[in-house]
Amino acid sequence: MPTLPWTAPNTPPPGTEVHVFASRFETRTLWGALRFLARTPAVWRQVGRAPGCYGATLRARPLRRTFWTLSAWESAEALKEFARSGAHRPTSRSLAAQMHSARFAGWQATAEDLPVSWEDVVRRLT
């Protein structure tokens, strides 16, 4: 799967401070990576209609069993609401046992900084 393009369901006003969130997941097995891929479309659809979401993308390297997410939100609370609802909540719970490792990073940026570069994401997650 190639990197999914930056999808921006809502446009932040210029100069707005946004909450950026990135994650890196590595699955234990190739089967776990396939399960992650199989569940991606439902979560991606949820992102597309999530209140407070200013953008999101996913980089997948399934043969390496590694996935990165990047999203921007109106607030940390909007991100938490997304994570607790819709397809994301049961998906994250059902995939937890498949994960070998996970890293997370959150920071503030301005609307003009979006989308954040993958180089910046990788740097913050290492």
The pLDDT value recorded for residue 1 is 61
The pLDDT value recorded for residue 2 is 76
Please tell me the total count of domains within the chain. 1
Domain at 95, CATH number: 3.30.70.100
Q: Where are the beta strands (DSSP E) in the chain?
A: 4-7, 17-27, 53-61, 66-73, 99-110
Angle between helices 88-95 and 76-83 (to 10 degrees): 70
Residue spans of the chain under pLDDT 50: none
Give the C-alpha separation, 121 to 113, whole Å. Answer: 13
| CA atoms within 13 Å, Cβ hemisphere of 73 | 20
What is the percent of the chain where pLDDT is above 70? 99
- Which residues form the domain of 71? 4-125
The pLDDT value recorded for residue 118 is 95
